[in-house]
């Protein structure tokens, strides 16, 4: 809610989940993102009365009711969907874990073990957050980052380079996420610890909280920042 309790009705575009970059018909490059954070933001924004559009990579989560949802698989598909919808958005929450790279070549037939070792050459995927930052205009742009070290300095750098208004910074364990099942992890539905970084070096730490709580606090910050930017 805004400082004077004036309800807002924003068009919020939420981008969530991982992308998958195919190698052959049965293999792909991806990451451990489950989409939980992005879906929490989408549901919280809808419950607050905002109009929400969700663009999501593959996930096992149930599609939320009352939210227009677009499903994609690859980073290029996600980029195309974002470009088609960001112009009507007041705020873009880029919570997706987009694969930075994709295979240079797609093999139409399954790569057989008997064929021996292969070198998998990669090329860069589009940097969706940077593209949005260069074109955001009066829109709010919310970014996310995960780091194994130098969390705050790397998050600040990303915030500056991508021209984000807020960034949610997650510190992740150096071990693979599959070894952390049942423990605190930035991936999945469990509790997490994040920093929300804002303008003028503002920072808020949320320690051992649910992603639903993170989404509620993040939405409050979005609403206040929007209200402030409108000159109120």
Domains of the chain: 11-108+119-229 (3.40.50.10300)
Mean pLDDT of 23-34: 95
- Checking if the pLDDT of 231 tops 80, the result is no
> Percent of the chain scored above 70 by pLDDT?
89
Between CA 180 and CA 173 the distance in angstroms is 9
- The pLDDT assigned to 156 comes to 96
How far is residue 63's CA from residue 53's CA, in Å, rounded to a whole number?
12
The number of angstroms, rounded, from the C-alpha of 8 to the middle of its chain's C-alpha atoms is 23
User: Which element (helix H / strand E) includes 199?
Assistant: none
Model confidence band, residue 182 (pLDDT cutoffs 50, 70, 90)? very low
Say what the pLDDT of residue 166 is. Answer: 97
The mean of the pLDDT values for the chain is: 90
Is 126 a residue whose pLDDT tops 70? yes
How does residue 1 score in pLDDT terms, banded at 50, 70 and 90? Answer: very low
Residue 89 CA: distances (Å) to CA of 9, 102, 140, 211: 11, 28, 9, 23
pLDDT at 117 over 60: yes
- The pLDDT value recorded for residue 13 is 98
Sole residue written with tokens 């930075």 = 100
Q: Identify the DSSP state of 97.
A: B
pLDDT of the residue at 65: 94
Check 4, 9, 11, 31 and give the catalytic one: 31
More confident residue, 160 or 175: 160
Residue whose entry in the numeric block shows the structure tokens 């874990």: 97
Distance CA(174)–CA(181), nearest Å, equals 14
Is 232 a residue whose pLDDT tops 90? no
CB 216 within 8 A of CB 199: no
What is the spatial distance between Cα 146 and Cα 88, in angstroms, rounded to a whole number?
28
- 43 assigned to active site: no
Return the minimum-mean-pLDDT range out of 19-23, 64-68, 228-232.
Answer: 228-232
pTM higher than 0.95, yes or no?
Answer: no
Q: How sure is the predictor about 174, in pLDDT bands with cuts at 50, 70 and 90?
A: low
Residue 6 confidence class, pLDDT cut points 50, 70, 90: low
Q: Which residues contact 188 (CB under 8 A, 6 or more apart)?
A: 32, 34, 36, 177, 181
What pLDDT is recorded for position 188? 55
Instruction: Find the helix or strand (DSSP H, E) in which 45 lies.
Output: helix 36-47
Contact 16, 57 (CB under 8 A): yes
Nearest-5° angle of CA 144, CA 83, CA 97?
25
């Amino acid at each position: 809610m805004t400082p004077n309790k004036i309800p807002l009705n924003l068009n919020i575009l939420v981008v969530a989940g991982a992308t998958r970059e195919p190698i052959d018909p049965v293999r792909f490059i991806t990451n451990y993102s489950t989409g939980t954070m992005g879906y929490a933001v989408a549901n919280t924004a809808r419950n607050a009365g905002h109009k929400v559009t969700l663009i999501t990579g593959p996930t096992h989560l149930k599609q939320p009711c009352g939210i227009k949802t677009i499903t994609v698989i690859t980073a290029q598909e996600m980029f195309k969907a974002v470009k088609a919808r960001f112009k009507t958005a007041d705020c873009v929450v880029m919570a997706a874990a987009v694969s930075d790279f994709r295979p240079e070549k797609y093999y139409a037939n399954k790569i057989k073990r008997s064929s021996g070792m292969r070198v998998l050459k990669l090329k860069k995927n589009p940097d969706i957050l940077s593209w949005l930052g260069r074109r955001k205009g009066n829109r709010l742009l919310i970014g996310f980052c995960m780091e194994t070290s130098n969390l705050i300095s790397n998050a600040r750098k990303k915030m500056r380079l991508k021209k984000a208004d807020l960034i949610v910074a997650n510190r992740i364990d150096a071990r693979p996420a599959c070894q952390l099942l049942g423990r605190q992890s930035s991936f999945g539905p469990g509790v997490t610890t994040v920093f929300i970084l804002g303008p003028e070096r503002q920072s808020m730490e949320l320690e051992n909280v649910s992603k639903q709580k993170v989404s509620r606090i993040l939405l409050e910050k979005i609403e206040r920042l929007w209200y402030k930017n409108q000159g109120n």
